[in-house]
Amino acid sequence: MFIMFTMSMILMTISMLIMFLCNILSKKTFMDREKNSPFECGFSPKNSARLPFSLQFFLIAVIFLIFDVEIALLMPMIMIMKISNLLSWMTLGFFFLLILLMGLYHEWNQGALNWAI
């Protein structure tokens, strides 16, 4: 137990010494305002990097993502059509599409699909 403690202390001391020497001997000790500023194609930044983002565009993107995932959930239903009961498959597909269309109608009714507001 004492040997493991001693070895770990020796390794810790050696690693700290190496990190300290690397920090002292590195070539990055020269601090320059130009080198510490963000690089933007050689131009100094005059405006904020945060541009206003259209909330309507974000909402359309989220709606697209939701409906895209639902379409991806519909794809396996085509594959299991041959091996399942036709009545249960049609019932499940009908209710899934009904929920999908109800969500689309709700988004349309709330005005989320209108671009010019």
Per-residue pLDDT of 47-98, as tens digits, reads 666 667 777 788 888 888 887 888 888 888 888 888 889 899 899 889 988 9
pLDDT of residue 80: 87
pLDDT at 7 over 90: yes
Question: Of 45 and 5, which is predicted with more confidence?
Answer: 5
pLDDT of residue 27: 67
43-54 b/e (C-beta count within 10 Å ≥ 16 → b): eeeeeeeeeeee
What are the boundaries of each domain within the chain? 2-27, 55-110
pTM above 0.75, yes or no: no
pLDDT of residue 87: 92
d(CA 99, CA 93): 10
